[in-house]
Amino acid sequence: MNNVLANPISTTLPVEHKATQVLIALYCGSRFGHNPVYKEKAIQLAQGIAEHGFGIVYGGASIGLMGQVADTVTEHGGEVVGVIPEFMLDYEVAHNHLTELHVVENMHMRKAMMAERASAFVALPGGLGTFEEILEIATWGQLNQHQKPMMLYNVNGFYNHMIAQLDHAVQEGFLPPQHRAKLIVCETEAEIFSAIKNLQTPKKFVI
């Protein structure tokens, strides 16, 4: 079991890194969705991440898919780093049983810290925040700010319409196909683990 970080720390102070595992950033909803398959697949993926020897960095909440993946990784011996903006504490209940919990000033700092700590990025089903996070990290990849794997976990066809929009942007000449190809569509856990199996500790992230 992981140690509980009793006092959340702010990025205005020196950041103490207790996690030692290579971390996968998981973007996912603060709700479970209507179909039980979303929770089931989130649990399976989180368990697999821990069993493969990885930890996760995520949005720091204890609710919805976010809380579920944190609990599952912890239960199976993985490390969990949570990053939550202070104002979000009014909307999302912070998870207090993590390897590290960072309460930061704003969303920009949350995303920057997650990007810095992660070696890869996986978007599970979620809402506007999840869409924005994976598309922003894909944009940073297009601008050569990182070369880390980025994946859409297309559970139950959840991302079919987003995938179609991205392909349409390529067809219409707005998105170069080589940059579209960097956002990997995964239909199964096996495809995700194939993409991340050789990950190393990330190099410094450029923002």
Percent share of the chain, pLDDT over 90:
80
> Is the pLDDT confidence value at 110 over 90?
yes
> Is the pLDDT confidence value at 6 over 90?
no
CB 150 within 8 A of CB 120: yes
Whole-number pLDDT of residue 66: 96
Element (H, E) at 13: none
User: Looking at 43-47, 88-92, 194-198, which range is the least confident one?
Assistant: 88-92
CB count, 10 Å around CB of 162?
17
- The structure tokens 């319409």 sit at 161
Give dist(CA 59, CA 57) in Å, integer.
7
> Is the pLDDT confidence value at 181 over 80?
yes
Whole-number pLDDT of residue 15: 58
pLDDT, tens digit, 9 for 90 and up, residues 53-69: 999 999 999 999 999 99
Whole-number pLDDT of residue 204: 54
Residue-range domains of the chain with CATH? 23-194 (3.40.50.450)
